[in-house]
Chain A
Amino acid sequence: MPRYSLMIDGSSHAIEADADMPLLYALRGELAHRGPKFGCGLAQCGACTVIVDGVATRSCILPISAVGKASVRTLDGLGTATKPHPVQAAFIAEEAAQCGYCTNGWIMTTVAGLEQNPHLTDDEIRSMLSGLKCRCGTHMAILRAAQRARDAMAAKTADAALFTDAMTEVRS
């Protein structure tokens, strides 16, 4: 089996896998990540979302051989209880999860979107999140959380500044 060196959350990991194995299986399997979930395997629901070179990407259809040297960020590496990413802080504050199985996709998509543009309008936030699935119907709390995160990041709160520092570290 071919061997791949992946840059995940700022550190390098060697994974042996079939070339066509989606990245999700390396994250869930070998790396025992708990963020990205298997929801459909068809890129239809977003539960598996990771950020690849700044772009929210469905890891369930991304072959491991296509990742190359790209930098992959996952929910597992995003923040911690004491130092959450502003998007995580907002999701916790708004209690924007029910079962929590899809939460990864909403958070990672919001992170990628707001890091590109922390001044999205409410309508733009809806568009950004369109296509993600939540079976429990947590839509309203998720929208509030994304707006709260936007406000926090746009205002460059202390949390956001801390986060930018952390990002620089990861990317450098």
Chain B
Amino acid sequence: MSRCDGTVLRLLDRRSFLKGTGTLVFALGTSGVAMLKLSAAEAATLTAAPRAIGPKSLDTWLAFDAASGNVTAFFGKMDMGQGVDTAIAMVVADELDLDVARVSVVMGDTARTPNQGGASGSSGCRLGAIALRNAAAEAKRVLVSRAAERLQVSTDQLQVVDGVVQVINDRNRKVSYRELIADGFATELDWNNRYGNNLNVTGKAKPKTPDQYKVVGTPVARKDIPGKVLATTEFCHHVTLPGMLHARSLRPPVAGSVPVAVDESSIKHYADARVVRKGDYLAVVADSEWHAIKAARELKVTWSDAPAPFPGMNKLFDYIRSAPTASDSAKGGFGGTAYDTKPALAAIGAAAKKIEAEYEVPFQSHARMGPSVGVADVSNGEALIYSDTQKSHDTRDGLAKFLGLPPDKVRVVWKPGPGSYGRSDSDEAAFEAALLSQILGKPVRVQWMRNEGHGWDPKAPACVIACKAGLDANGNVDGWYFHARGFSGWDVNFNAAEPRDTLVGQLTGFVKADAHNFGAPGESYAFANAVKFWETVPTFLTRASPLRTSHMRAPQEPQVHFAHESFVDEVAAAAGIDPVALRLQHLKDPREIAVIEAVAKLSKWEARPSPAKDRSGKLLRGRGISLCNTFGGYVATVVEVEVERDTGRVWARNVHVAHDCGLILNPQALRTTIEGNVVQGLSRTLCEEVRFDERNVQSVDWLSYPILDVMQAPQRIDIVTINRPEQPAGGAGEPAHVTIPAAVANAVFDATGVRMRRLPLTPERVLAALKANA
């Protein structure tokens, strides 16, 4: 239904439309809209009727309530907790000259929002806002021209103040938007014929120039916060459907083993519980959620004898070094290019001084606060699925294939979830619920348990990154070699448009693709004879693996930049140069240079080579810097650490961030977003490592997979933002995160003289390194 382009929708007043309708099944619009169900709760909110969606129609993007004059923006992406919806509301309010409080944003419902690609690559503001801005500008143009007709003046004599169009020289002659909206816009936009992140539309109107913004650039309170604090927000986890059953999935004790026999009598004392099996997927379903949980725990299952699939975590990095190469950046996508290592290796071979280092990053878990949940009603040839997926339109397409239904009979409704920073487990339960609902003919809710959230989510890829550099007799860099080698970021695709990219899909006969991606740093260092490339290694287990790998916040960039920005520091130390000075000597991009200079000033950086001269005492102090330029964001970070000599504990006491993401939409939300980037980055740097043995993943809860505690949070995070209204809005959800691992490791080196080349920097590991270097 979202593929019907150019549909012009007659906007119905939803309130009058729904009033008195006892039915929960109805259609809206004239073409291509399936009859789809609404939950009672949704019907009560009066906002959830399906709509005709075509990117060409202005009515697809914006709907005015004729009674209140408030506007709803329909956004084909969603917020993961950084306030993207508020930013979109600000953009729309600005173009329409409307109070931002009058704008609400509907996100990620395949029956109501266009396919803008969902949440990915910090693209909510960077890409997603562009179409909304253009649509809102065109909406204002249409409404003002209607006003001109009504008021019998030319449009250049009119101005808009909070949704009221008035004659500039005679303000009593006025008409409000709501009086002008009638049956909607019935206006066509130019559409670039693309879906996803790059979807764009343009109208006849020219959007405002940054100097004309009144809302954008000002601090606006996030719209989502009060509901979350007052317990009124409906999370995906709260959704219930009439007659809904609860299900829990069963996971094998050895990864790769499958159910051979199921003793259903082992749960016969739960009258409402039953076993459902399809292929190698096994679940217990019950009327009562608690019974589903207990029955799933007590069900006696005989699992097949599978060979132990993993080498165990102690052999992880040996495996990465020695496994056959599966793919490389010459073949891979997302910036993969041909490369030649010979000039770099020749230059390094001939150099007066050679520097080499290898960095290791383990698997890390998305480990969301709440494990995956999905609610599905598949009946009468239609499917309604609630999910907190990052990409509902792709999930809709995948579910259609999985269920054997046409995509226009499948509706995925996004609801807020427990964050999601990449291809997490968020889609998994939706697919499982859909399968069970289709089999049982009743609505089903699947909620994963904690051990599944940690143990069975897709993992951030582990890697070994080898770096080499040569210095000539004068200490100048000649020869630079960056070689990342790890598991594929695309072992699980970044969306769920194919059932094979879910656990239940793989367990029911969909064969995993063989897709490869990793990454290399993109900063502008002009090192002579440089080569940067990546290779991937085969996954351990090709079917339903708990160590399948995927994108996790700033996909692979934290790993890549941990190595590269650490190595830049190592070269600076080898050359006896201040780490800031070395960067400034070689960087070419003025925005990278600007953030380095800004963070040096903010942190009162003392120019000197690392490590610090005085490394005596029990508490060692040091500072480190790191840079990244990704997703349209330029970030330099200085971390000041304290290292306890006797325990190896590292505390990132003060963090300084200089952040340039182009045009700043909402400075208030930007600051908390940057803080979140930093703290989650510290967690991945200091705490996070997926444990596994030969048989399975052993990180199954918060004890076996600790994250940064509030006691470990910094004393201060100081942020300087560089606003560049002349530049497009860039990404802010990821770039700062990327800088943290190397900034910490560089600070630890500065404090101790010991280089930590493996994440995470746990106390045990740091203590061992300190002792080895004593």
List A residues at the B interface (Cβ < 8 Å): 17-18, 20-22, 25, 28-29, 32-35, 37-42, 44-45, 47, 74-76, 78-81, 84, 88, 91-92, 95-104, 107, 126-127, 129-143
Contact between A44 and B710 (Cβ–Cβ < 8 Å)? no
Contact between A32 and B368 (Cβ–Cβ < 8 Å)? no
Contact between B711 and A32 (Cβ–Cβ < 8 Å)? no
**In the complex, which residues 56-92 of chain B have their Cβ closer than 8 Å to any Cβ of chain A?**
80-83
Contact between B226 and A37 (Cβ–Cβ < 8 Å)? no
Given that A37-B237, A37-B370, A137-B679 are contacting pairs, would A97 and B229 also be in contact in the complex, using a CB cutoff of 8 Å?
A: yes
Q: Which residue of chain B lies nearest to A60 when distances are taken between CB atoms in the complex?
A: B450
Most chain-A Cβ atoms within 10 A of its Cβ — which of B673, B711, B714?
A: B711
Of the stretches B192-200, B327-335, B510-518, B700-708, the one at the interface is: B700-708
Contact between A25 and B290 (Cβ–Cβ < 8 Å)? yes
Name the contact of A99 in the complex, choosing from B81, B230, B669 (C-beta under 8 A).
Answer: B81
A residues near B235, Cβ cutoff 8 Å: 34, 37, 100-101
Question: How far is A35 from B238 in the complex, measured between Cα atoms in Å?
Answer: 10
Instruction: Looking at the assembled complex, report how far the CB atom of B541 sits from the nearest CB atom of chain A, in whole angstroms.
Output: 26
Instruction: Looking at the assembled complex, report how far the CB atom of B370 sits from the nearest CB atom of chain A, in whole angstroms.
Output: 5
Instruction: Looking at the assembled complex, report how far the CB atom of A85 sits from the nearest CB atom of chain B, in whole angstroms.
Output: 9
How many chain B residues touch A (Cβ–Cβ < 8 Å)?
A: 62
Given that A101-B369, A137-B678 are contacting pairs, would A25 and B289 also be in contact in the complex, using a CB cutoff of 8 Å?
A: yes
Given that A25-B290, A132-B710 are contacting pairs, would A95 and B668 also be in contact in the complex, using a CB cutoff of 8 Å?
A: yes
Could you list some 28 contacts between A and B, CB below 8 A?
A: A18-B290, A32-B240, A33-B231, A34-B231, A37-B237, A37-B370, A40-B450, A88-B229, A88-B230, A91-B229, A95-B225, A96-B229, A98-B82, A98-B673, A99-B81, A101-B235, A101-B417, A129-B710, A133-B369, A135-B368, A135-B418, A137-B678, A137-B683, A139-B675, A139-B708, A140-B679, A140-B713, A143-B710
Which 5 residue pairs across A and B have the least CB separation, nearest first? A137-B679, A100-B228, A98-B81, A99-B81, A101-B418
B280 within 8 Å of A by Cβ? no
Interface of A is mostly: loop
Name the contact of B233 in the complex, choosing from A25, A34, A40, A134 (C-beta under 8 A).
Answer: A34
Contact between A95 and B221 (Cβ–Cβ < 8 Å)? yes
Q: Which residue of chain A lies nearest to B226 when distances are taken between CB atoms in the complex?
A: A92
Contact between B417 and A35 (Cβ–Cβ < 8 Å)? no
Given that A34-B238, A44-B702, A81-B230 are contacting pairs, would A39 and B225 also be in contact in the complex, using a CB cutoff of 8 Å?
A: no
B676 within 8 Å of A by Cβ? yes
Question: How far is A170 from B203 in the complex, measured between Cα atoms in Å?
Answer: 57
A residues near B710, Cβ cutoff 8 Å: 126, 129-130, 132, 134, 139, 142-143
B461 within 8 Å of A by Cβ? no
Given that A95-B222, A98-B672, A131-B709 are contacting pairs, would A140 and B701 also be in contact in the complex, using a CB cutoff of 8 Å?
A: no
**In the complex, which residues 339-392 of chain B have their Cβ closer than 8 Å to any Cβ of chain A?**
367-370
B443 within 8 Å of A by Cβ? no
A residues near B708, Cβ cutoff 8 Å: 137, 139
Contact between B702 and A40 (Cβ–Cβ < 8 Å)? yes
A residues near B233, Cβ cutoff 8 Å: 34, 100
B447 within 8 Å of A by Cβ? yes
Name the contact of B707 in the complex, choosing from A42, A129, A135 (C-beta under 8 A).
Answer: A135
Contact between A104 and B675 (Cβ–Cβ < 8 Å)? no
Question: How far is A10 from B226 in the complex, measured between Cα atoms in Å?
Answer: 23
B298 within 8 Å of A by Cβ? no
Contact between B226 and A137 (Cβ–Cβ < 8 Å)? no
A residues near B678, Cβ cutoff 8 Å: 137
Contact between A21 and B290 (Cβ–Cβ < 8 Å)? yes
Interface string of B711-726 (1 = CB under 8 A from A): 1011001000000000
B416 within 8 Å of A by Cβ? yes
Given that A34-B235, A84-B230 are contacting pairs, would A137 and B675 also be in contact in the complex, using a CB cutoff of 8 Å?
A: yes
Instruction: Looking at the assembled complex, report how far the CB atom of A127 sits from the nearest CB atom of chain B, in whole angstroms.
Output: 7
Contact between B225 and A92 (Cβ–Cβ < 8 Å)? yes
B603 within 8 Å of A by Cβ? no
Instruction: Looking at the assembled complex, report how far the CB atom of A101 sits from the nearest CB atom of chain B, in whole angstroms.
Output: 4
Question: How far is A134 from B676 in the complex, measured between Cα atoms in Å?
Answer: 10
Given that A100-B224, A135-B418, A139-B708 are contacting pairs, would A95 and B672 also be in contact in the complex, using a CB cutoff of 8 Å?
A: yes
**In the complex, which residues 649-682 of chain B have their Cβ closer than 8 Å to any Cβ of chain A?**
668-669, 672-673, 675-682
Given that A21-B290, A99-B80 are contacting pairs, would A81 and B226 also be in contact in the complex, using a CB cutoff of 8 Å?
A: yes
Contact between B226 and A99 (Cβ–Cβ < 8 Å)? no
Interface string of B281-294 (1 = CB under 8 A from A): 00000000111011
Instruction: Looking at the assembled complex, report how far the CB atom of A106 sits from the nearest CB atom of chain B, in whole angstroms.
Output: 9
Contact between B290 and A41 (Cβ–Cβ < 8 Å)? no
Q: Which residue of chain A lies nearest to B420 when distances are taken between CB atoms in the complex?
A: A99
Contact between A141 and B229 (Cβ–Cβ < 8 Å)? no
B residues near A41, Cβ cutoff 8 Å: 293, 449-450
Question: How far is A39 from B306 in the complex, measured between Cα atoms in Å?
Answer: 31
Contact between B81 and A136 (Cβ–Cβ < 8 Å)? yes
B419 within 8 Å of A by Cβ? yes
B residues near A138, Cβ cutoff 8 Å: 672, 675-676, 679
